[in-house]
Chains A and B, each alone.
Chain A
Amino acid sequence: MSIPATVEETQALLAAGGYVADRALATTVHLALRMGRPLFLEGEPGTGKTEIAKVLARMLPRRLVRLQCYDGLDLSAAAYEWNHARQLMAIRLAEAAGETDREAIERGIYDRRFLEARPLLQALEGEPAVLLIDELDRADEPFEAFLLEILADFQISIPELGTVKAMTPPVVVITSNRTREVHDAVRRRCLYHWVDYPDAARERAILRLRAPGLPEKLSAQIVAFVQKVRQGDYFKLPGVAETIDWAQALAALDARELEPGTVDETLGVLLKYQDDIARLKGAEAARILAETAA
């Protein structure tokens, strides 16, 4: 399938892949695809940033290459690594064969055969790909600097071998939870979108797609409850992922509608900090329930 021609088509494509995107997000994704620019998605955990890359890979369809970032992520884990054991063996073989030309040996051992491709290089070589660089904020600043060449020109320079350039530029999706500010240089090369919590209508639509078979009334109650909780003063607000988990948990418990008892028992699915759970449990949960019922 080729790249969609209009914003509406992009929105429909995402919807067909099970992702309910609002207008602004659909426009940004559309532009990223049309202009061939990386997409930089920032937002609270659990708002569906990573999911966009997965849906794009499934619907375009392209293979998904995923790079999970962490502190200390370096070249050999992210881009490529020389297979030293095979190189040493090649030298010995060349010696055994009586090869003495230093240049020839050098050319011989810095051959593409001895290069192990890691995610970034994998995304540039072979079939067109969707490259997901997940949680870039977890990597350290030197790694960001290394990314610049890939983001701007879709190529990697390997000193011993030369420059590897993508035949078809990959669709690049970068996500960040903002545990650290990502540098301006990376932002400038990307299209930026802040992925916010969805409004009630969109969240209900998401539940219809991700928790099918859930009674409509229960689904509406869940969404109303979560939306109220997000207005509160909690350390970690529940994301869409938590809403979906909660809906599935309630469905598994055969709940027909939200009741204070069920809410209290399943709060651990929605909130992940003890302080937050202690605050919401009991009276506060009952109050929110009463408010949403009204």
Chain B
Amino acid sequence: MALTPERDAARIIGAAEARAAAAGALPAGHLADNLLAFTRLLRRAGLPLGPGEAIAGLEALIEVDIADRRQVHAALRAVMVHRREHFELFDQAFQLFWRDPEAAAHAAAMALLDGPRPKEEKAPPAARRLAEAMGENRPKPKPPEAPPPRHDMTFTVSERERLQKMDFEAMSAAEIAAAKQEIRRLALPLDERRTRRFRADPAGPITDLRGTLRQSLRTGGEILDLARRRRVTRPPPLVALCDISGSMSRYAQILLHFLHAVANERDRVHSFLFGTRLTNITRQLRHRDPEVAFEMVSHIVPDWSGGTRIGESLALFNRLWARRVLGQGAVVLLITDGLDREGAKGLAEATERLRASCRRLIWLNPLLRFAGFQPKSQGARAMLPHVDEHRPVHNLDSLRALVAALSDRHAAQRGRMAA
């Protein structure tokens, strides 16, 4: 018999319950059963709960007055939820479940009766996830998919050369597929940054007294050799803000592939998409399979190929995310053509603030491919004075140049000093 986590938890909780009952601390009734059912409900709704949380929940209930609903709520939330983003889901589940333990079964039955409904736009996402969890996981009927197009992925050297110079916008579907293959091969060299940590290294520049002493014991306290160490280096965090408005749609598709490749290759990469709204897609992009990752991204992004409100999106990023992801010397890639629907309202201020909170702000602009590009649009004029670098991204060559620029250790200082 395979032990499921639930049965495991039930066993452990049973033991905990017996212990508590022996101590005379546990109230009578089916509290433990209900708590276990509640834990299962939360898990189905997507909260990462293990048996540990269920046991901690039971322990917590012993410590509070279970006749007081608010105490029980606060207690269970403190031990079962570990981040603020999950509070809303938990609160709703708590309301639903502990009002009437039958409610979960009831809601499940209702959901079954309802059958496949058209998408409800009004229900908040937490409520929908909860409803889905209560109605068990019934797979949604999938829309019939066209068979995936097949491409011949082998190309000759000359073909590859042609691809390097080709504008993403002018590519056919087959060429885009080939370009994606190329992008996966674009290894991002590590632009190492010194941290304040050390590791042992016989050729290191710093003497390690603790190591030296330990070595000296082998020779009876005689110090023959100095242990040395050097600083650990690691790449800085990378934050990408990518414009997905209508004018950028062709590039965004390719650049998402680039971001996916980067996000899977190094740690501390945060990715955001913006058009009229700002969406954090960091967790979605971390999925190793690009197709699955993009499927997940497309579900949570509401504004593909719409208008652009760059200023507003950047201001929102500054307010909600800058402090959370730009610490520790992050490099920011701002990917946009600078064509703003709102006439660049607030764009200059938002860009300036963004630059002030990161170590290096790089604007990647596909329009820069035209030799005579002049920052004529209001958006470009507002942003240009506040970025450290302004680079083209329209073909594989320019992506390659970007990779090289990211690994240049001294570019940041130079850029900042020249400004």
Q: Whole-angstrom distance between the alpha carbons of A177 and B322 in the complex?
A: 12
Name the contact of A31 in the complex, choosing from B64, B84, B216 (C-beta under 8 A). Answer: B64
Which residues of chain B have C-beta atoms less than 8 A from A49's C-beta? none
12 further interface pairs, Cβ-Cβ under 8 Å (given A35-B63, A42-B84, A160-B214): A24-B70, A27-B75, A27-B78, A35-B79, A37-B56, A74-B197, A82-B210, A180-B327, A180-B328, A184-B48, A190-B82, A192-B82
A30 touches B64 (CB 8 A): yes
Cβ–Cβ < 8 Å partners of A137 in chain B: 327
Q: Counting CB contacts under 8 A, is B59 at the interface? A: yes
Instruction: Say how far B380's CB is from chain A's closest CB, in angstroms.
Output: 23
Q: Is the CB of B220 within 8 A of A7?
A: no
Residues from chain A with a CB closer than 8 A to the CB of B210 are 82, 84
* A109: contacting residue among B71, B83, B213, B319, CB under 8 A: B213
B209 located at the interface, meaning its Cβ lies under 8 Å from any Cβ of chain A in the complex? yes
B397 contacts partner chain A, Cβ-Cβ < 8 Å: no
Interface size on B, residues (CB 8 A): 43
- The residues of B that contact A142 with a CB separation of less than 8 Å are 197
SS class, residues of chain A in contact with chain B = helix
Chain B residues touching A, majority SS: helix
Instruction: State which of B71, B216, B220, B318 has its C-beta within 8 Å of the C-beta of A23.
Output: B71
Q: Are A178 and B323 in contact (CB under 8 A)?
A: yes
Collect the chain A residues with CB atoms within 8 Å of residue B224's CB.
none
Number of interface residues of A (CB under 8 A): 51
Contacts of A40 in B (CB 8 A): 82
Question: A71 within 8 Å of B by Cβ?
Answer: yes
**B65 contact set on A, CB distance < 8 A:** 6-7
Q: Is A102 in contact with B217, judged by CB distance below 8 angstroms?
A: yes
Q: Residues of B contacting A37 with CB < 8 Å?
A: 56, 79
Q: How far is the CB of B9 from chain A (nearest CB, A)?
A: 15
B60 x A31 contact (CB < 8 A): yes
CA distance A152 to B78 in the complex (A): 17
Residues facing B in A151-188 (CB within 8 A) are: 160, 177-181, 184, 187-188
9 A-B pairs with C-beta separation under 8 A: A24-B77, A71-B196, A72-B197, A74-B196, A82-B210, A140-B197, A142-B197, A178-B324, A275-B349
Smallest CB separation, B64 vs chain A (Å): 6
A82 CA to B74 CA, complexed, in Å? 44
Nearest to B70 among chain A residues (CB) is A23
CB of A214 within 8 Å of the partner chain: no
Closest chain B residue to A70 by CB distance?
Answer: B196
CB distance from B356 to the nearest CB of A (A): 10
Cα distance, A258 to B210, chains bound together (Å): 61
Which residues of chain A have a CB within 8 Å of any CB of chain B? 6-7, 23-24, 27-28, 30-32, 34-35, 37, 40, 42, 71-72, 74, 82, 84, 87-88, 91-92, 94-95, 100, 102, 105-106, 109, 137-138, 140, 142, 160, 177-181, 184, 187-188, 190-194, 233, 235, 275
In the complex, residue of chain B having the shortest beta-carbon distance to the beta carbon of A105: B221
Which of A6, A23, A179, A188 is the one whose CB lies under 8 Å from B74?
Answer: A23
**Interface residue B250 (Cβ < 8 Å from any Cβ of A):** no
Q: Which residues of A contact B64 (CB under 8 A)?
A: 7, 27, 30-31
**Interface presence of B52 (CB below 8 A):** yes
CB distance from B415 to the nearest CB of A (A): 23
Pick from A30, A34, A192 the residue with the most CB of B within 10 Å: A192
Chain B proximity of A230: nearest CB distance (Å): 13
User: Once the chains are docked, how many angstroms separate the CA of A140 from the CA of B209?
Assistant: 24
What are the residues of chain A within 8 A of B70 when measuring CB–CB? 23-24, 27
- Is B190 an interface residue, CB under 8 A from the partner? no
Known contacts being A35-B60, A137-B327, is A105 close to B217, with CB within 8 Å? yes
